[in-house]
Structures are given as C-alpha cells and as structure tokens.
Structure 1
C-alpha cells in the first residue's frame, strides 16, 4: 500500500484567509497536509524574500487535528523555503498555493505572491499549482471551485508535470453548474494602465496610492482571459526559465 502523498499548502492572503481554509479542506482528501503560510496578508509581493530582518515560525493549533500548520512572519516565498529546509524531512509530493482572493491571470502572474510561492516550489523540483478565484472579497465563496481544485491536484499527483513547469489556475466567479469546463491556455497579453493618486498629510507631506485599470490587449480565444470571461477554468503552464530563446539568434548577430 502506497503511503499518502505529502502536500505543502501556502498562500499570500495569510493563514487565516478563507481561500487557504478551503484549499486545506480539499487537500486533506488527497494526502497528509503541512501548512506554512504568512501570518498576515502578503499580496503582490512577487518573488520577494526576507534578507534584512529575522523570520519567525509559529506552530498553531489547526481546526483539523490531522493537519500541521505554521504561521510565518515572512513572504510566501519565505514560507516555501522554510518549509522545505526547516520543517519537512523530505520534499513534499505537491505544493499548492491559494486559493487566492482575486485574479492571477495574464500579467498579474508577475506580481502574484500566490504564484511566486508555487514557482519557488517548482524551482525546488516540487510539482506545484497556484489557484486563484476572480473574487477579491474576503467573503468569497469557494464551494463552487472545490471539485475542480481536487481534480486538478489529483491529476498532478498521478500524472506529474513536465520538468520546470508550474500550473497557474484561475477560476471564474460563477456557480459550479455555470462553469463550462477547463481550458489549457496561454497567458493573455495585457497591461495595467497605472496612475498614482497623490495626496497630502495634514503636515503637508506628499503621499501616493497606486491605482490603475487592467487592459486586455489580446483578442485571442486561446488565452486565460478569454477562458475566464467565457465561463471556463483557465490553466496556464508557467516556467521559471525566463530566457527569451527566440531572441538569441538576433542578439548573436550583433557585433559585440
């Protein structure tokens, strides 16, 4: 009889977020669960790591006695590094990150703490998935996506992933019966049209709030944005090798 797989669960919304609670619930049906997640929200931290201050891990009493949980003072990537190097005796069979409150489709993957945690696991050679729901509210309802989370995670456990590949999974905000299915997609070409709301303190010191509008420049019907807008779950295979291979030949033609 094969032992249960070990599953590392993390996120960027914090260990108390409803999204990670839903993810933990699903993962307990698939294996032995270890949770290492930030003790406070760490959204949009990207692949940041902590090097100029101390890190703390606090073991907490989880709702499920069969789950081991740690709250970490650092970033999502810190959580994965500490889990692999300090907590786990061997690398887990799977790392899942999320379920994020809000989209991590298209260009958002660059800024996402959720996906950076999954990418860090991938760098460590651990199969990894980042899950996100297109609902930014704390009261987001994750019930509709739980069957999809379970199905995708089980497939990764049994089928494995291509080397150097992580899955970026995004769910539309729809009832379960309204979700049409799952599509394997490419990342849509989109940008944030950013601006800063400039204000002043009562003491006359300037400060800024980042605001902006998400603009999808991609009309393709094979993108994550198209899938989500049309009622599908999107899965984008992501890699951490950032080499622009298509540019190598052109750069080699330069007289350097």
Structure 2
C-alpha cells in the first residue's frame, strides 16, 4: 500500500522491550496498513502494570529501524511512559490507533491487571486513542508468530475500516499454534481466574533471606464464553476492555442504601 498523508498513523509499543521478536512481528503484520511509529522500552518491563516514571529522568532516543522504513524510538521508561512520550514528544499529536505487543506470554483473565502490554494500550484508550493489546501464548523468543501475524493483520485491518469510539480497547490473545490449527476468533468475557501464589524463601551468599515469587494459574470459571475457554479450545480470544472500574450493580445498591 502506498504511503501518503491520508494514511492512519499507528503507534506501536510493548512491554518486552525494543529487541523482543514480538514487537518486530507486530510491525511486520501492520506496516502496510498505515504510517507506523515504534516507541518501546529499552529493556523488558513485564508486569509493570500502569506504572509511570516520576522519580527520575526519562531518556528518549531514536534508534535504527527495527523493521526497514519504520521510525523507531527507545525510552528508559515504562510501557505507559512510551505512550505518553510518543504523543507529546514524537508524534506531537494523537495517532489514529495504538497497538501494544505482541507480548510473549498470555494476558488473558486476571493478567490484564498486571500486564504492561495492556496498560500501554489502556493508557492510549484513556488518552482517547483507540487501542489494542496483542499477546501470544508462548514465552519462547523462538516462538512461531505466523498465526499471530495473520490474526493481527485481520483484526487491525477490520477495525481501520470502521469509525471507532475514542476509548475503544481490545485485549487479544492468540494460541501458540500453527496458523492452520487456529479455529478462528471468539469475542469473550474475561475469565474469573487468578494465581495461587507462593513465595519461595532462599538465602543469598551472605546468608540473608530473600523471596522468589512462584505460583500456578488457576481458572475458577467454567463458562464457555471466556477468554481462557477460547484459548484452551484453539481460538483467538478478543475481550473488550475499559478503564472505568466502577461496579455499577453495587453502585445502584449503595444509592438505595444511602438515599
């Protein structure tokens, strides 16, 4: 697709860092859909959630294109910082779309709370930029991204044809399977699941205690309309997400209590 001023501007970021294969695959998946600009952390920032940098200076540097012809920048900050800096210092305006990922590992269910990938997308949504976060259920840097690239392109190209709400936000997870084994897309709700955590106590060479977080992901939700079910059954899951955390059902109850 020939690039011109009328093409949409697509901001791309992640939480695995500028060198992660996932972000290169995300760029490759959408580079022909608009003008792509990459702003990513200079190091892995997984699990940072919606953290922002306030206690020390932020660094921002242009780097060699991670994909030829695609403007690329790195920052010392968090994924959320990447979005803020991109809008204020690089693009000088809001992009048409923000894409975050492709994350190495799942961001389904409760992971959306902790995820730097999804927090970057959510920050864009807060700033009235339609956004999507993408994750592949494979932590291996040698993972096969062919299926992920296909579905990223399919989903992004679909929504670029539509007028989106300014707070549009999707959490997209993709099973780690060859493309031909992925059954399609399911629009889902977030499953009720959590980590059963354990802190392993160890001692350092100075005989001082330290703790290492471990645990297992446990799904308590047996519904067949959840992201966990979809992924377990070889579908791409799409969960519409919002940053408004109001419990509206409880709000109605409390209004009756305190009327």
TM-score scaled by structure 1?
Answer: 0.97
Q: Which consecutive unaligned segments of at least 5 residues does structure 1 have? A: none
The 5 A counterparts of 1:29-44 are: 29-44=32-47
Residue 161 of structure 2 is matched in structure 1 by 158
Residue 252 of structure 1 is matched in structure 2 by 255
| Pair 1:229 & 2:232 matched | yes
Distance in 1, matches of 2:66 and 2:162, equals 31
| Pair 1:141 & 2:144 matched | yes
2:109 and 2:228 in contact (8 A); partners too? yes
Distance change in 2, residues 1:97/1:218 (3 Å): same
Residue 92 of structure 1 is matched in structure 2 by 95
| Pair 1:116 & 2:119 matched | yes
Decide which of 20, 24, 27 is 2:23's aligned counterpart: 20
Decide which of 210, 215, 218 is 2:213's aligned counterpart: 210
Residue 198 of structure 1 is matched in structure 2 by 201
Distance in 2, matches of 1:97 and 1:185, equals 19
Distance in 2, matches of 1:230 and 1:55, equals 42
Q: Which consecutive unaligned segments of at least 5 residues does structure 2 have? A: none
SS at match of 2:169: strand
TM-score scaled by structure 2?
Answer: 0.95
Residue 163 of structure 1, CA deviation: 4.6
Distance change in 2, residues 1:96/1:202 (3 Å): same
Count of residues in Structure 1 that have an aligned counterpart in Structure 2? 256
Residue 63 of structure 1, CA deviation: 4.3
2:24 and 2:66 in contact (8 A); partners too? no
Residue 2 of structure 1, CA deviation: 7.0
SS at match of 2:108: coil
Distance change in 2, residues 1:211/1:63 (3 Å): closer
Residue 240 of structure 1 is matched in structure 2 by 243
Distance in 1, matches of 2:6 and 2:53, equals 34
2:109 and 2:190 in contact (8 A); partners too? yes
Higher alpha-carbon deviation: 115-124 or 59-68: 59-68
Higher alpha-carbon deviation: 195-204 or 36-45: 195-204
SS at match of 1:71: strand
